[in-house]
Structure formats: C-alpha cells, structure tokens
C-alpha cells in the first residue's frame, strides 16, 4: 500500500499530532514529547519519528511566524551549537541504540527534574543554572530529539529556571526546534527513514498540524505565567511516566 491505512494507527496518530501542535505553539515542548510514544502504539519508534518529520516542519514554520517577535536571540545563539552537537551524536549512534533505552533515560531525568523543582522550589532570588549545565542539557535535547523527537524535557530543565515569560519561552523554543528539526532531514534520509510510504502517511496527517498550532497560539497569548508553567510541568510529568513505562515494558 502507498501509505498506512490501519484505522488504529490514525486513532492514535491524529491526537498525537494535535498534541504536538499545541506543544509547539503553546507549551514549549512539554506535551509534545508524548507524540512519538503515542504513535509507537501502532508503529515502530523510528517509523513514527520519520512520519512526523514533515508535520514538524509545518508546525515549526507556523510557530515561528506566530512568535517571530518573541525570541531571546542571545539565549538561542547559546543553545543552538550544543543542540546540533546532540543531533550529530544521535545520528552516529542511532542504529546502535535501543529506542526504548533512550526513552527510559529521558523519562527518568524528566521525573528527577520535576521532583527537584517540586521538593526544592527555587527562591525568587535563585541564580539561573550555570551555562555548563545548559550546554549538557541542550546537547542531550538534540540527541533525544533525533532519536524520538523527545528533546523537550532536557532543554526545559535548563530554560524553565530562567523564568522567561510564556510567549518568550514559547517563541525561543519554536525557533530552537525549527533549526534542530531541519538539521535531522539529511541524517534521516541517510538512515533510510524517509521512504515513500512514511512521507505519504505524513501528508495524510498534515491537515491536523495547523489546528493544534492554532489552539496553542491562542492559549499561549492568554494564559497566566503561573498556570502556564504548571501545565508545562504536567506535560513533563505525563511524558516522563509514559517514557519510563515504555522502557520498562
């Protein structure tokens, strides 16, 4: 068949794409890391990641257009080189790594970060994390983004304590992940993941991308910072639980 026709695949993939769209435009990458694990209920993790590539491109372009005036350019210049290093590492190790092991590591660190934030909440005068921590977490984000589009939790662990406004947080993450995701195309093609079947299936899912982005943009411009970060934490918690469960199972 030229594309996937299994109804169960679309039953899990359409909600995953909508959730990813909301994440891209409204909540950084909190909920978006759930997309590949959800789709992996019907296909393999590498195939799910490949199918999402064109969808991510459309979402990134829409997100950048919506938040083009809300970007911390200095922070972005710091993050990008380390994110790209993570992409290179992911491409070189992709065939040697079990995606479930990577999922478990990402999920575990996500839950540890949340536990630290909730049990030892930072004071108003707490300094931001040191840059060497940001470099490690951003490289980890690039690596996990390449393996399973799960780059949100590691970079959130660095950027959330910087206390950006919701729109500045979302805009900066939109631009960061655009460059990260666009850099995956050549290595994904090199690994043979961008075949005709996956790309045609992605086209069938594309109409749902702008719907999720539109919902997220409307929320991001209207939500209070405290509620915004609570929702990000909720998304990260669900992501962490799902990834750890997948690895354990």
Q: Examine residue 18 and state whether it is found in any structural domain, yes or no.
A: yes
Amino acid 246: pLDDT = 77
Q: What is the pLDDT of residues 23-71, one digit of tens each?
A: 776 554 556 777 877 787 788 778 888 899 999 888 888 878 878 888 9
Question: For residue 1, is it within any domain?
Answer: no
| pTM for the structure as a whole | 0.77
Q: For the chain, how many structural domains are there in total? A: 1
Of 65, 83, 79, whose CA–CA distance to 25 is shortest?
65
Q: Is residue 187 part of a domain?
A: yes
On whether residue 2 sits in a domain, the answer given is: no
Q: Is residue 95 part of a domain?
A: yes
Over residues 92-147, the pLDDT tens digits come to 888 777 767 766 776 777 787 678 767 766 666 677 889 999 999 999 999 988 88
In a domain, 226, yes or no: yes
What domain range is 175 assigned to? 7-248
d(CA 44, CA 249): 14
The reported pLDDT for the residue numbered 79 is 96
In a domain? residue 39: yes
Amino acid 40: pLDDT = 77
d(CA 127, CA 212): 35
């Amino acid at each position: 068949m030229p594309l996937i026709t299994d109804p169960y695949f679309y039953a899990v993939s359409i909600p995953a794409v909508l959730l990813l769209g909301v994440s891209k435009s409204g909540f950084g990458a909190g909920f978006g890391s759930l997309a590949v694990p959800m789709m992996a209920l019907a296909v393999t993790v590498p195939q799910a990641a490949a199918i999402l590539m064109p969808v991510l491109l459309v979402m990134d372009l829409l997100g950048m257009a919506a938040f083009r005036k809300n970007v911390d350019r200095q922070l972005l210049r710091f993050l990008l080189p380390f994110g790209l290093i993570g992409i290179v590492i992911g491409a070189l190790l992709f065939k040697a790594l079990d995606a479930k092991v990577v999922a478990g590591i990402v999920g575990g660190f996500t839950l540890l970060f949340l536990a630290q934030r909730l049990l030892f909440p930072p004071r108003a005068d707490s300094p931001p994390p040191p840059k060497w921590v940001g470099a490690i977490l951003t490289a980890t984000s690039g690596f996990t983004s390449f393996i399973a589009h799960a780059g949100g939790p590691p970079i959130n662990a660095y950027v959330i304590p910087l206390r950006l406004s919701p729109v500045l947080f979302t805009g900066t993450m939109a631009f960061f992940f655009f460059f990260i995701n666009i850099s995956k195309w050549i290595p994904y093609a090199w690994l043979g993941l961008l075949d005709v079947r996956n790309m045609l299936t992605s086209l069938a899912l594309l109409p749902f991308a702008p719907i999720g982005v539109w919902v997220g943009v409307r929320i991001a411009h209207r939500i209070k910072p405290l509620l915004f970060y609570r929702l990000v934490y909720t998304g990260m918690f669900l992501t962490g639980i799902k990834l750890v469960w997948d690895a354990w199972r």
